[in-house]
Amino acid sequence: MITDGSAWFSLRLSLQIATIATALVIFAGGAVAYLLAMKNFRGKDVIDMLFTLPLVLPPTVTGYYLIILFGRKGLIGRPVFEATGWSVMFTWEAGVIASFVVSLPLMIKTVRAAIESVDKSLICASYTLGHSGLETALRVIFPLAKKGIIAGTVLSFARAMGEFGATLMLAGNIPGKTNTMPIAIYSLASSGEWSKAHAMVVLFTVISGLFVYMANAFGKSPV
């Protein structure tokens, strides 16, 4: 049952999507968290709210917004389609977009808190020693916020692996193309294929647990 090729396809697809989405989340989330923690600017609260929304909105609502943005008739999707004849909808890349959007807030929240707890005197010292803002960020702030960044990465990866609602809307449930593990499990359960669903649920739980365990162990290791 578990040797059914479709289960491995779904697992590989989930890992691929979650890895790429998390990599993007580390950079985007780190940058936004830095801005929110270190800078004061007009509209900061609005930016904070917009980036938090995917955390509190039901994923299907987030997915609906993504369709409006990225569909062939969407605000971003239309110009892209007119220029290239390609639409991200119903592709595995759509899964990356959905996972990125829903896991970004977890990264931002965690890293922002970590940056805000970095000793301000160390940051001031760096500036006093003539380091630029970028140098200080890369060589003082982010290294000191490392634990928060790792925690945020683990949370984002776990969230991306489990992403269902927004992915179903934007990427669809296309066996052999976009059916990630959570979507394949939902699909099997809905059509009464319980034995296959059980096997996938166990596989998914074990693998997700393994990742969280490894990440925690790595986060604890002394530098």
Partner 1 sequence: VVLGEAVSAADEITVSAALSLKSAFEEIGKTFEDKYPGTRVFFNFAASGTLQKQIEAGAPADVFVSASPKEMDALERSGDILDGTRSDFASNVIVLITAANTQTRLASFNDLRKSEVERIAIGNPAAVPAGAYAEEALRKLGLWDILKARLVYGEHVRQVMDYVARGEASAGMVFLTDAISRHSELKVVAEAPASERKPVLYAIAAIRAARNATGANKFIALVISKEGKLVLRKYGFKVTW
Our finding on whether 68 is near partner 1 (CB under 8 A) is yes
Nearer to partner 1, 136 or 178 (CB): 178
Residue where the block lists tokens 């992915």: 167
Our finding on whether 147 is near partner 1 (CB under 8 A) is no
For the CB of residue 8, give the shortest distance to partner 1 in the complex, in Å. 12
Among the residue ranges 45-53, 120-128, 156-164, 165-173, the one whose residues contact partner 1 (CB under 8 A):
165-173
Residue where the block lists tokens 């000191």: 144
Residue where the block lists tokens 């917004």: 65
Alpha carbon distances (Å) from 20 to 28, 160, 172, 197: 12, 10, 19, 26
Nearer to partner 1, 77 or 148 (CB): 77
Handedness of CA 50, 53, 100, 175 (dihedral sign): negative
For the CB of residue 81, give the shortest distance to partner 1 in the complex, in Å. 7
Q: How far apart are CA 80 and CA 86, in angstroms?
A: 7
E strand spans, the chain: none
Nearer to partner 1, 106 or 168 (CB): 168
Output the CA angle 207-212-214, nearest 5 degrees: 90
Our finding on whether 177 is near partner 1 (CB under 8 A) is yes
Residue from 19, 38, 64, 113 binding partner 1 (CB under 8 A)? 64
Nearer to partner 1, 54 or 74 (CB): 74
State which amino acid sits at residue 178. T
Nearer to partner 1, 159 or 196 (CB): 196
Our finding on whether 174 is near partner 1 (CB under 8 A) is yes
Our finding on whether 158 is near partner 1 (CB under 8 A) is no
Packed helices 146-162 and 194-220: angle between N→C axes, nearest 10 degrees? 180
Q: How far apart are CA 21 and CA 205, in angstroms?
A: 20
Nearer to partner 1, 68 or 125 (CB): 68
Our finding on whether 21 is near partner 1 (CB under 8 A) is no
Read off the tokens for 49: 């709210």
DSSP state of 145: T
Q: Which residues within the stretch 75-104 sit at the binding site for partner 1 (CB under 8 A)?
A: 77, 81, 87, 89-90, 92
> Which residues here bind partner 1, judged by CB under 8 A?
12-13, 16, 60, 64, 67-68, 71-74, 77, 81, 87, 89-90, 92, 168-169, 172-178, 187, 189-193
